[in-house]
């Protein structure tokens, strides 16, 4: 009996040792047996088109649009429409949208900023006179103009091929007939119900007898079906100048809000030039503020001065240097990023190599910084979904859309089937800050699309959701692809680094004073964690998973598309 117990114990020890060895090898980012980069699944490879979204049914809708003769822009709109119905925990018709489009015929990148502005009748003085130090997270006060519908029609007018009615038809059918709710979305949905239940219209339109739909349960939303049908029949003005706008305005006025019919009627998005930095031969593209995309460019510029490939993925040096670069970029993010019409900092200088060299010199390669200050750049004399789609013509789209804080403000106008965003929470209620509240101003935005080119040719369209995780995640995806040679799927599946505690653009945290918290997903070696602690990092349990990654890559050598979908989400990459 004792010998048997000893044998079992010995076997257990061997198994435990093997698990530790495997975990250590995995922490290095590679499979111990094959030597290949770790990934949860193989890349999807197809010849004529590719779609990667956070919901399999949205991916299938995008592919159907491509097969019917639509292009990547049509498919992106169709997929986003589907996600407003199927993943209301992350986006909706009440939110904003940003996109980067590679237009194959012209060989150019185009950027679109579809963020809405604050109500004209609401002022900073009103907030201060009524005792507000910060804008509330939910309810009527953080609501800004929804920009997504205008964004769809702007993208479609410039690049679309199929009629908008055909693009919206699949989602309208699913909204009327029902669709099964995936498990992760069901989990987030259940969490949102007690948080948003107090706001008028939410329980009636987003619950079943006061509860969230369960995984596998069919969900119908006749309100959004009717709203989308109006858009299909009457165009974008139905939302901003028609009955939908009147319903929103009347509802907001009834419940203490300031968003008016005039605010909606005057809204327009903006075509903007993407900005970029070259990281070891790869051009990394983002949109300029009021989004936070240039933070990823600043991080990469700083890190370009270090040989990350030599250190290796998951090494203490890799994690430490990334975290320190993030701290520096995020202090600039907190102090300088805002609506370009109100921003005094020169974006070109912020993302320049000279400025990165100045900031890089502040990093101690052996010690974590407890405090860092924003730089002094030159002045001018201004819960989320993402998807990536490519088509047979070579067009590629990176699109990201959000209500902010998952389902948004909770304000749910009657009969429309969607919730208004709470993006206005990101404004600062004190004078002198670039993101200070002002009527008709676009708030600081967290949602950012990304694109990579090499030698002027399109390479990767991608995005990664998650508030302040987004620029951190974008930079990590680029580093995984470029420095560590990972495949598209492995670059997204590799364990992620998340640092919190930097100064926030909202002013709610005025300064980082204790170095913040370094949170690592499982997969990093204990030796790395121990060394990081010795260097002064406050390493804590991950509150993740961090991000929601979708990507499409152009394999020009073989003339095919490669797709990758986030293993941390319900999503799917598929092609034809």
What is the percent of the chain with per-residue pLDDT over 70, rounded to a whole number? 90
The β-bridge relationship of strands 457-464 and 449-454 is antiparallel
Look at residue 501 in the predicted model and tell me its pLDDT.
Answer: 86
Tokens in use for 387?
A: 């998807």
Per-residue pLDDT of 71-93, as tens digits, reads: 999 999 999 999 999 999 989 99
Q: Which residue has the tokens 């067009």?
A: 395
Per-residue pLDDT of 31-56, as tens digits, reads: 433 344 567 889 999 999 999 999 99
180 DSSP assignment:
E
- Cα separation, 41 vs 52, whole angstroms: 14
Look at residue 371 in the predicted model and tell me its pLDDT.
Answer: 78
- Beta-carbon contacts of 571 under 8 Å, excluding residues fewer than 6 positions away, are 52, 53, 54, 55, 56, 59, 548, 550, 565
Burial (Cβ within 10 Å: 0-12, 13-18, ≥19) of residue 436: middle
Look at residue 379 in the predicted model and tell me its pLDDT.
Answer: 33
Max mean pLDDT among 85-99, 494-508, 536-550 falls in: 85-99
Is the separation of the CB atoms in 442 and 115 below 8 Å? Answer: yes
Buried residues in 261-275 as b, exposed as e (16+ CB within 10 A): bebbeebebeebebb
What is the percent of the chain with per-residue pLDDT over 90, rounded to a whole number? 77
Tokens in use for 148?
A: 């997504």
What string of DSSP letters covers 460-498?
EEEEE-STTHHHHHHHHHHHHHHTS---HHHHHHS--EE
The β-bridge relationship of strands 517-520 and 539-541 is parallel
Provide the pLDDT confidence category of residue 507 given band limits of 50, 70 and 90. low
- Cα separation, 146 vs 365, whole angstroms: 44
Strands in 50-53's sheet, in edge-to-edge order, are 270-272, 108-114, 96-103, 396-402, 384-390, 50-53, 572-575
Tokens in use for 527?
A: 């030796």
Instruction: Report the chain's mean pLDDT, rounded to a whole number.
Output: 89
Q: Higher-confidence residue: 30 or 150? A: 150
Look at residue 376 in the predicted model and tell me its pLDDT.
Answer: 55
Look at residue 20 in the predicted model and tell me its pLDDT.
Answer: 32
Tokens in use for 94?
A: 């009440």
Look at residue 555 in the predicted model and tell me its pLDDT.
Answer: 96
Q: How many CA atoms lie within 13 A of 410 on its CB side?
A: 17
Provide the pLDDT confidence category of residue 308 given band limits of 50, 70 and 90. very high
Per-residue pLDDT of 346-384, as tens digits, reads: 899 899 999 999 999 999 999 998 877 776 544 333 267
Look at residue 384 in the predicted model and tell me its pLDDT.
Answer: 77
Tokens in use for 419?
A: 């919730």
What string of DSSP letters covers 374-399?
---PPBP---EEEEEEE-TTS-EEEE
Query: Which numeric CATH code is attached to 293-336+344-381+483-544?
Result: 1.10.246.130
Is the separation of the CB atoms in 402 and 95 below 8 Å? Answer: yes
Q: What is the mean pLDDT of residues 90-101?
A: 96
Residue spans in the chain of domains classed CATH 1.10.246.130: 293-336+344-381+483-544
Length of the chain counted residue by residue: 576
Q: What is the mean pLDDT of residues 270-298?
A: 96
Look at residue 541 in the predicted model and tell me its pLDDT.
Answer: 79
268 is catalytic: no
Active-site choice (53, 384, 503, 506): 384
What string of DSSP letters covers 110-164?
EEEEEPPPPPTT--HHHHHHTT-SS--SSSSTT-----HHHHHHHHHHHH--S-H
- Cα separation, 176 vs 160, whole angstroms: 26
Look at residue 128 in the predicted model and tell me its pLDDT.
Answer: 96
Assess whether pLDDT exceeds 50 at residue 160. Answer: yes
Q: What is the mean pLDDT of residues 457-477?
A: 94
- Cα separation, 327 vs 298, whole angstroms: 11
E strand or H helix at 284, and its extent?
strand 282-286
Look at residue 346 in the predicted model and tell me its pLDDT.
Answer: 86
Look at residue 512 in the predicted model and tell me its pLDDT.
Answer: 67
Assessment of whether the complete model's pTM goes beyond 0.85: yes
Partners of residue 113 on adjacent β-strands: 98, 270
């Amino acid at each position: 009996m004792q010998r048997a117990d000893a044998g079992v114990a010995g076997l257990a020890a061997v198994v435990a040792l093997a698990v530790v060895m495997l975990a250590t090898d995995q922490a290095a980012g590679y499979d111990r047996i094959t030597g290949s980069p770790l990934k949860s699944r193989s890349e999807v490879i197809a010849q004529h088109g590719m779609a990667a979204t956070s919901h399999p049914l949205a991916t299938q809708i995008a592919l159907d649009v491509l097969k019917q003769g639509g292009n990547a822009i049509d498919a992106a709109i169709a997929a986003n429409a589907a996600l407003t119905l199927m993943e209301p925990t992350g986006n909706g018709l009440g939110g904003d949208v940003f996109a980067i489009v590679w237009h194959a015929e012209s060989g150019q990148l185009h950027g679109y900023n579809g963020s809405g502005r604050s109500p004209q009748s609401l002022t900073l003085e009103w907030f201060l006179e009524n005792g507000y130090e910060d804008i509330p997270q939910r309810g009527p006060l953080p609501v800004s103009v929804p920009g997504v519908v205008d964004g769809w029609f702007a993208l479609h007018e410039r690049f679309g091929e199929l009629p908008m009615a055909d693009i919206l038809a699949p989602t309208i059918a699913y909204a009327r007939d029902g669709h099964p709710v995936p498990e992760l979305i069901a989990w987030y949905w259940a969490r949102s119900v007690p948080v948003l239940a107090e706001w008028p219209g939410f329980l009636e339109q987003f619950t079943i007898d006061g509860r969230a739909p369960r995984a596998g349960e069919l969900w119908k939303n006749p309100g959004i079906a009717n709203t989308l049908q109006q858009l299909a029949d009457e165009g974008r003005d139905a939302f901003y100048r028609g009955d939908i706008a009147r319903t929103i305005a009347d509802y907001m006025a009834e419940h203490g809000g300031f968003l008016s019919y005039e605010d909606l009627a005057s809204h327009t998005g903006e075509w903007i030039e993407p900005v970029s930095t070259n990281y070891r031969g790869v051009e990394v593209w983002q949109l300029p503020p009021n989004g936070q995309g240039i933070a990823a460019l600043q991080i990469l510029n700083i890190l370009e001065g270090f040989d990350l490939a030599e250190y290796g993925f998951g090494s203490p040096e890799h994690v430490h240097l990334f975290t320190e670069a993030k701290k520096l970029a995020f202090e600039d993010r907190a102090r300088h990023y805002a609506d370009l019409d109100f921003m005094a900092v020169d974006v070109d200088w912020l993302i320049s190599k000279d400025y990165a060299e100045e900031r890089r010199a502040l990093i101690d390669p052996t010690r974590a910084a407890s405090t860092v200050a924003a730089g002094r750049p030159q002045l001018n004399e201004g819960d989320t979904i993402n998807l990536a789609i490519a088509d047979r013509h070579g067009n590629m789209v990176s699109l990201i859309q959000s209500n902010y804080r998952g389902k948004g403000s909770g304000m749910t106008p009657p009969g429309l089937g969607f919730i208004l965003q709470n993006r206005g929470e990101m404004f600062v209620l004190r004078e002198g800050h670039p993101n200070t509240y002002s009527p008709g101003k676009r708030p600081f935005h967290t949602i950012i699309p990304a694109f990579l080119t090499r030698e002027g040719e399109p390479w990767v369209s991608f995005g990664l959701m998650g508030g302040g995780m987004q620029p951190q995640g974008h930079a990590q995806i680029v580093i995984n692809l470029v420095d560590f040679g990972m495949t598209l799927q492995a670059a997204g599946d590799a364990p992620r680094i998340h640092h919190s505690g930097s100064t926030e653009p909202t002013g709610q945290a005025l300064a980082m004073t204790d170095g913040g918290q370094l949170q690592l997903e499982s997969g990093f070696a204990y030796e790395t964690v121990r060394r990081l602690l010795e260097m002064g990092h406050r390493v804590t349990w991950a509150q993740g998973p961090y991000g929601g990654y979708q990507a499409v890559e152009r394999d020009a050598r073989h003339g095919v598309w490669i797709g990758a979908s986030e293993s941390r989400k319900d999503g799917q990459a598929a092609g034809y």
